[in-house]
Amino acid sequence: MIELSPRERGLLGLGFGGDTLNTAVYLARLGVAVDYVTALGDDGFSERMLAAWRDEGVGTGLVVRMPGRLPGLYMIEVDARGERRFHYWRQNAPARELFALPETERIVAALAGYDLIYLSGISLSLYGEKGRAVLFAALDHARRRGGRVAFDCNYRARSWPTADAARAAITEMLRRVDIVLTGLDDERALFGDADGPAAARRLRTAGVAEIVVKDGDAGAYVVADSVDRMVVAEPVARPVDTTAAGDSFNASYLAARLAGGAPLDAARAGHHLAAAVIQHPGAIIPRTAMPELFAAPARSRMMGRE
């Protein structure tokens, strides 16, 4: 989407963002070969988005262009503690029709060629029941061919007709997820989980093998392999804007795991990038502000989606 974020003297900065896109950009910066799959218009803003993504090293070969359409837009409000609030204008965004287009068959066929497919609860909220059915079938096929699926619940109540609809769609999604990277606030709002361990137990019961439950500045609860523990977050004295904190954490965690890192080390890497991101306005920080982390192996092919 087009992003409007606060700047000095009440001005707004124009950029591009969105939860899965943010993760895709940070993955590319960390050395992962990543393609982004969405639908855009044929307007100037859509053209600038594509140019910006390509400049970041994000593949755009599966981005559909829809004549006469405009991308979605969101505005960030930030309080004195750096906590963000979003306002959306995306009811007619082309991305909503991604799984009901003439190009859908080509996109679905391409999914089976990726090592890892990443999407979110916001992705699910866009497509409707028919679109989600196409997506779920494509994910099942990709997993049968050896691919894995990573998912962030990222629940936004205004994006769903009801909380029950969101719970049903996300529960169905969890049947085909290998790695969950989610926020405790989301799990609490939808499923009533009291804390990270409670959320992890429920997700394990749903069949998810690798689980990270993020709890803001408290840290992240990690359950993977023989690991079952909290990883404390890096302290940040004065957050500027918490937009993309979770998205950047997800990117760094996944990049570390793809590079062969252990789950706890991957969580620490996630915290390290998120701590840098929240010290800058907007979702995507300047490349010069990226902290030293690592480079993931180029052979890992990943796809993000919105």
Catalytic residue list contains 247: yes
Q: Count helices and strands (H / E) in the chain.
A: 9, 14
The separation between the first and the last C-alpha atoms of the chain, rounded to the nearest angstrom, is 10
Q: Write out the two tokens for 41.
A: 């218009």
Place of tokens 């059915």: 133
Catalytic annotation, pick one of 217, 241, 247, 265: 247
- Measure Cα distances from 252 to 50, 161, 257 in Å: 23, 32, 9
Q: DSSP letters of 82-124? A: S-EEEEEE-TT-GGGGTTSSTTHHHHHHHHTT-SEEEEEHHHH
Query: Strand, helix or coil at 177?
Result: coil
Residue ranges in the chain assigned as alpha helix (H) = 19-29, 44-55, 104-111, 121-144, 163-174, 184-191, 196-205, 245-258, 263-277
DSSP 278: T
- Catalogue the active-site residues: 247
